[in-house]
C-alpha cells in the first residue's frame, strides 16, 4: 500500500513539474511614470523552453486581456516577427526548441499622448495546453506637473541641423539608437549624459531616438 502511494505521489509530482517547463523571466511590469512626450514604450522579456521533450517545440501566444487609451497602439514581437494591433483572443504561432529562449517585446505606441495601457500576453504549448505562462505590462502617463521630474532623457535642439545634445535624467551613460521611419537603425552609440550626437550624415526627415534595455524610451526628432 505504501509503495502504491509513493508511486502516485511521484506521478503527480512529475505531472506538476511538466506543466512548468515554459516560463517568462519576468511576469509583470508596472510603470505609472511614463512621460507622455515619449513616442513609444516597450518592455522586453525572455521566454525559456525548459522542456525535456524535444517534440514540444510549437507554441502560440495570445493577448488575453487589453485595456488602453483608444489612440494608443499595441505591438507584440516574438523574435523578429512583430504584430501591430494583434487583438484579443487571436493565436500567433512560433517555434521554440527545448533549451532555447525567445525574446518578446510588448509595448505601446503612445504617440506623445497621455493615457493608460494594460495588456496580458499568454503563451501555451500546442502539444500540451497545460504548459503555459503569461506576462502583464501596465503603464500610465504622468500628469503634466510631474513631467519635469520624470523624463528619462531629453534632446535639444529639436528640430536639429547637425548636432543634438542628449541628457539622461540618471546622469549615466546609455546606448542611444536612431531609427528612420522604416525602422532601420541609422546610428547606434554609447554616450554619456550631456554628450553631443552627430546627425550630419542623416538626410532631412523625421527620426526616432531610443534608449533600449528592459524598458525602452523614445523621442521623435526632426533633422533639418
Q: Residues 80-115: pLDDT tens digits?
A: 999 999 999 999 999 999 999 999 999 999 988 888
Give CATH 2.60.40.3080 domain extents, the chain.
Answer: 152-223
pTM confidence score: 0.63
For residue 76, pLDDT over 80 is answered with yes
How many CB atoms neighbour CB 168 within 10 A?
19
**CATH code of the domain occupying 152-223:** 2.60.40.3080
For residue 142, pLDDT over 80 is answered with no
Q: Report DSSP state, residue 144.
A: G
Per-residue pLDDT, averaged over 180-186, amounts to: 81
For residue 143, pLDDT over 70 is answered with no
Contact criterion met (CB below 8 Å) for 194 and 13 = no
CATH topology for 21-141 is Immunoglobulin-like (2.60.40)
Give CATH 2.60.40.10 domain extents, the chain.
Answer: 21-141
Going by C-alpha positions, the residue among 23, 26, 46, 43 that lies closest to residue 103 is 46
Going by C-alpha positions, the residue among 26, 36, 30 that lies closest to residue 217 is 36
> The C-alpha cell of 106 is what?
510588448
Confidence class of residue 220 from pLDDT cuts 50, 70 and 90?
A: confident
Amino acid at each position: 500500500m505504501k509503495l502504491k502511494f509513493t508511486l502516485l505521489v511521484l506521478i503527480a509530482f512529475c505531472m506538476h513539474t511538466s506543466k512548468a517547463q515554459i516560463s517568462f523571466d519576468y511576469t509583470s511590469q508596472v510603470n505609472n511614470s511614463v512621460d507622455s512626450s515619449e513616442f513609444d514604450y516597450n518592455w522586453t522579456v525572455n521566454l525559456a523552453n525548459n522542456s525535456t521533450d524535444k517534440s514540444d517545440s510549437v507554441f502560440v501566444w495570445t493577448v488575453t486581456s487589453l485595456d488602453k487609451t483608444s489612440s494608443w497602439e499595441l505591438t507584440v514581437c516574438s523574435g523578429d516577427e512583430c504584430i501591430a494591433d494583434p487583438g484579443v483572443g487571436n493565436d500567433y504561432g512560433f517555434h521554440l526548441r527545448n533549451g532555447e529562449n525567445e525574446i518578446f517585446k510588448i509595448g505601446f505606441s503612445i504617440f506623445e499622448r497621455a493615457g493608460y495601457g494594460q495588456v496580458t500576453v499568454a503563451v501555451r504549448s500546442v502539444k500540451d495546453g497545460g504548459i503555459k505562462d503569461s506576462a502583464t505590462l501596465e503603464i500610465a502617463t504622468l500628469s503634466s506637473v510631474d513631467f519635469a521630474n520624470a523624463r528619462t532623457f531629453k534632446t535639444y535642439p529639436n528640430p536639429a541641423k547637425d548636432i543634438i545634445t542628449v541628457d539622461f535624467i540618471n546622469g549615466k551613460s546609455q546606448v542611444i539608437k536612431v531609427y528612420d521611419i522604416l525602422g532601420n537603425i541609422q546610428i547606434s552609440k554609447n554616450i554619456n549624459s550631456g554628450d553631443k550626437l552627430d546627425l550630419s550624415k542623416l538626410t532631412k526627415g523625421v527620426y526616432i531616438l531610443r534608449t533600449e534595455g528592459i524598458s525602452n524610451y523614445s523621442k521623435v526628432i526632426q533633422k533639418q
